[in-house]
Chains A and B, each alone.
Chain A
Amino acid sequence: MKLPYSLFSRRAFLNSLIGGWLAALGAAFISPLVKYIVPPTREPDQVSTPLADFKDMAPHTVKGFAWGNKPGFLKKTEDGGFIAFVGVCTHLDCNVAFVAEQRRFYCACHEGWYDENGLNVAGPPPAPLRRLAVSVEGDALIIKKQG
């Protein structure tokens, strides 16, 4: 059947059809490559450390532990409990240090400060240090992602 009027010429139709196939073929080849270049994340679900290593800490002191590839900090509170942070600045990802004399966390990269509870108090950090959940199970200290 011959149409009296068409939006496409036959050539335009075939060109876009073949172009579409080529694009789909290209996408099929490229998508596995794009997928390959990001490895799976390696953040741990939980970290277990012997309670004995942290039991004798004085209140308001801080001790480090390994949260996967990142440094973690455990702080002993006034009432003898623990709170835990990921020791990574929320500004641009540098590792922070605990300045014991001032009871504050400090990021040397862009001079960011957090108080001992991880609250961002000075400099460019936009958010508090990330908190982790701590629980004592037998003689082990279990640190988990919060929530």
Chain B
Amino acid sequence: MNVVRAWIEERLGLRAVTHFLEKKEVPRHKHTFLYYTGSSILLFLGIQIVTGVLLAFYYQPTLAEANASVVRIMTEMPLGWLIRSVHSWSATFMIAIVFVHLLGIAFTKAYRKPREATWITGVLLLGASLAFGFTGYLLPWDELSLAATKVGTNLPKALPFVGAWLTQVMRAGEDVTGDTLSRFFIVHVSVLPLAIMAFLGVHLFLVQRHGMSGPLAEEKKNVKVPALPFWPNFVFREAAVWLVLLGVLITIAIVAAPGIGPKADMMAPAPEGIKPEWYFLFMFQTLKLFPATILGLNGELFALLLMMVGMGLIAFLPFIDNRPAERKGRIISGLAWAGLAYAVGMSIWSLL
């Protein structure tokens, strides 16, 4: 056994990695629970990859077959309904925990120097996750998914110069058609997975490089925070969290499996009560409320610019809040709370 281990070690030199993991510590304080969010996202990402590959075994991304093949997965394939339900619910769980992860880091100011690049790769990962949700929503090709995709891909059109072109790139033409479906499928199963793996690699590397961010107060006083060894203590705790999440996921997936609507008809009027995935609801409601023109500007463009400013503020947060000054920190926390309240309020309103 030792001979085999030595043989492998000589060729791969993994000792450096295991040595690092043996030494790795996780700070212990009242926000330690936020450290579990990262690994929980990884859990759901793993589930997405496995169930996604399984779904792709039978799914057919064509105008004629897309809706029927999803129906077939759900009615004919052994446990197909469960695989699809887990894929759908795991996506929801993943996005939800991504938001908790992001807000936790925003409130604990863990994005500050030297972790700016970690934050930015995190924002890219958020973008990729939302893009996964958006492209995946179209694939069952039912009435709702067609209408939601039409609205979503029409949004950039309001932008000057590049808007119309961007819409055409997303739709593969003027309208949402079979070409859009192929495009969304390949982006969902190939382009985004490659992108998310690349961003994730950098993100995880940077997290290891800088170590876990500790509480602000202690960091400033240069006090050593009590810590937990990563292996085995923290990993075992993570394992417990994973098991609970997995149990909740499977339970919900069994009792609340998603259905599928009638096949999308490009000529039919939009169905009543269309709504996007829950994490886009606040934007949906915002668009509904915005009037056609504001101060002579196109209302849609206005809403779009507002959202872009919001996204820009989030993406460049570490450079806006670049000094650990309490005053600035409090304004950022206030804005984060306000943004959260807005998103939650709008989402609830859209469901009324």
Contact = CB atoms under 8 A, between A and B. Distances in A.
A87 B150 CA distance: 14
A16 interface: no
A38 B288 CA distance: 29
Interface in A104-133: 106-111, 120, 124-127
A108 B173 contact: no
B173 A39 contact: yes
B174 A124 contact: no
A38 B173 contact: yes
A92 B174 contact: no
B74 to A, nearest CB: 26
Given A39-B173, A108-B269, A92 B155 contact: yes
A22 interface: no
B179 A39 contact: yes
B150 A94 contact: yes
A93 B154 contact: yes
B75 interface: no
Given A92-B150, A126-B293, A69 B169 contact: no
Contacts of B151: 92-94, 109-110
B232 interface: no
Contact of A124 (B271, B272, B288): B288
B150 A126 contact: no
B273 A69 contact: no
Interface in B48-102: none
A145 interface: no
Given A41-B173, A66-B267, A108-B269, A126 B287 contact: no
Contacts of A37: 169, 172
Contacts of B292: 91, 120, 124-127
Contacts of B267: 64, 66, 70-71, 95
B125 interface: no
Nearest to B289: A124
Nearest to B266: A69
B168 A38 contact: yes
Interface string B163-181: 0010011001111010100
A86 B174 CA distance: 14
Contacts of A89: 270
8 A-B pairs closest in CB distance: A97-B269, A126-B292, A94-B270, A93-B154, A69-B175, A92-B151, A71-B267, A108-B270
Interface of A: 37-43, 64, 66, 68-71, 87, 89, 91-97, 106-111, 120, 124-127
28 contacts: A38-B169, A39-B179, A41-B173, A42-B173, A42-B174, A42-B175, A68-B175, A69-B174, A69-B177, A70-B175, A70-B267, A71-B266, A71-B267, A71-B268, A71-B269, A92-B300, A94-B269, A95-B150, A95-B267, A95-B270, A106-B269, A108-B272, A108-B273, A111-B288, A120-B292, A124-B287, A125-B292, A126-B292
